[in-house]
Structure 1
Amino acid sequence: MDALDDLDLRVSGCRACPRLVDWREEVARTKRAAFADQTYWARPVPGFGPPDARLLIIGLAPAAHGGNRTGRMFTGDRSGDVLYQALYDVGLASQPTSVAADDGLELYGVRVTAPVHCAPPDNKPTPGERETCRPWLVQELRLLRPTVRAVVVLGGFGWQATLPALAEAGWRVPRPRPAFGHGVRVGIDGSVGDGGPDGGGGPEGLELFGCFHVSQRNTFTGKLTPAMLREVLSTAARAAGLGK
């Protein structure tokens, strides 16, 4: 087992936030009628993608009947349908759909994660829950730092979580901290490290991108269109040294 696999295993056993534990388990008991015959994952959902990813996508939190059901980020819900279709369209995924953890989907140089790993009521984690979960994101960033060269953050909540996590993981985040916006691109300098907890030096610089979240509210209203999403992902992929 490599270090990222070990992290994912530890994430999936976390019970640090009582409200989120109660909610994710209640959803698994009551279920949605369409999934009444399925056994829900009902645990924190770890990141998904290769351990040498050059591009990291950071969302918000798993959906109650999506990742909380399937056990994989953005899998089994409409937000995931939009995201993985776009990743497939720009050559970063092996297939355009993500319906189950064993459906054979592969990501090419991309990892998908979230600042909150449990499904929250009304899709709204609290700032306190975001802070409690932040050490997992910091550790994930530290493990990815030999290869990650670009980060796409979906939505303002994730942006507010990502900037301090990047700083804690060893990158030099500009001050004042850059504001979130769709299409925002910020260069984040690496640090000259003295050997972090994983034994490595400081991270290389990376490019940080803002993108509206792939929520139904944004995609149904046209605030985020497939073309807008593809443009951010393809630009970020080029910045990361992926694709064409």
Structure 2
Amino acid sequence: MPRFEAATAVVVAPEPPRNCPICPRLVAYREANRAAQPDWFNGPAPSWGDEGARLLVVGLAPGRTGANRTGRPFTGDHAGWLLYETLGKTGFATGTYDPNGQDDLRLVDCLITNAVRCAPPGNKPETVEEASCRPFLEARIAALPRLKVIVTLGDVSRRNVLRALGLKASAGIAGHGTEFPAGPYVVLNSYHCSRLNTNTGRLTPQMFEAVFQRARALLAA
């Protein structure tokens, strides 16, 4: 008589291990950065902020000289200045931001993560790397019991969040300032606060702040 055993669910932690081996290209890039800059963090950038947060901010991936260097999301590169200034203006952060992470900055009712946790060459993760890292995003979202609003920074982030929630990437509306329900959450999409977008005027501080003011209004409601 055949023997049947119950399937065991694979439990994924919200944060990848320090030397996550999943993506060969990203592992090789990480090792190259460690060899060149042994004093940098050089690992999967952990999520950072309030574990009881109602707001989750999702970027794409750590920058080589940003979170890959400092170990904190959006810390060390151009995007961090606008993001943390905006979070402070809208009541989601206190303290003063320092690009080296040597500061008293604290997030309030907010947590920041990335769709891909390791720095990719050229700041561009491949589709297979997004898919391989997605279980960590799924687990990160599931580990926030009070979560209500998700701000996605860029359409790649938006698509990864939707897939992490078990939805089609086409389920949400692309573009800056768009808003749509996704399961029990409301997703707000913004252009990414990268130097490319801010220097060209595609994203202004006022446009970026409006997204977080909307998140504040949704949480107040």
Which TM-score band (shorter chain)? Answer: 0.7 to 0.9
Residue 186 in structure 1 maps to residue 173 in structure 2: no
Tell me what 2:32 maps to.
26
CA-CA distance at 1:80 after TM superposition: 0.9
Matches of 2:121 and 2:169, distance apart in 1? 33
RMSD (Å), alpha carbons:
2.1
CA-CA distance at 1:105 after TM superposition: 1.4
Residue 225 in structure 1 maps to residue 219 in structure 2: no
Instruction: Give the total of aligned pairs.
Output: 210
Where in structure 2 are the equivalents of 1:1-244 lying within 5 Å?
A: 7=13, 10-31=16-37, 39-144=39-144, 146-167=145-166, 173=167, 177-189=171-183, 205-241=184-220
Does the 8 Å contact 1:79/1:215 carry over to 2? Answer: yes
Structure 2 residues not aligned, in runs of 5+: 1-11
Structure 1 residues not aligned, in runs of 5+: 1-5, 32-37, 168-172, 190-204
- Summarize the Cα distance change of 1:49–1:177 in structure 2 as closer, same or farther, 3 Å threshold: same
- Summarize the Cα distance change of 1:17–1:236 in structure 2 as closer, same or farther, 3 Å threshold: same
- Summarize the Cα distance change of 1:63–1:174 in structure 2 as closer, same or farther, 3 Å threshold: closer
- Summarize the Cα distance change of 1:11–1:54 in structure 2 as closer, same or farther, 3 Å threshold: farther
CA-CA distance at 1:156 after TM superposition: 1.1
CA-CA distance at 1:103 after TM superposition: 2.1
Does the 8 Å contact 1:148/1:240 carry over to 2? Answer: no
Q: How high is the TM-score relative to the length of structure 1?
A: 0.80
Matches of 1:153 and 1:53, distance apart in 2? 15
Please give the per-residue CA displacement for 1:175-229, whole angstroms capped at 9, x wherever unaligned. Answer: 951231101000233xxxxxxxxxxxxxxx2211110001110011010111111
Matches of 1:8 and 1:104, distance apart in 2? 25
Does the 8 Å contact 1:11/1:46 carry over to 2? Answer: no
Matches of 1:85 and 1:138, distance apart in 2? 28
Amino acid at match of 2:25: R
Structure 1 moving runs of 4+ over 6 Å: none
Identity level (%)? 36
Classify the secondary structure of the residue corresponding to 1:57.
strand
Amino acid at match of 2:52: D
Matches of 2:51 and 2:168, distance apart in 1? 27
Amino acid at match of 2:31: E
Q: How high is the TM-score relative to the length of structure 2?
A: 0.88
Matches of 1:104 and 1:230, distance apart in 2? 22
Matches of 1:108 and 1:155, distance apart in 2? 23
More strand by share: 2
Matches of 2:21 and 2:101, distance apart in 1? 22
Classify the secondary structure of the residue corresponding to 2:20.
coil
Amino acid at match of 2:35: R
Matches of 1:73 and 1:134, distance apart in 2? 17
Matches of 2:147 and 2:105, distance apart in 1? 21
Does the 8 Å contact 2:159/2:170 carry over to 1? Answer: no
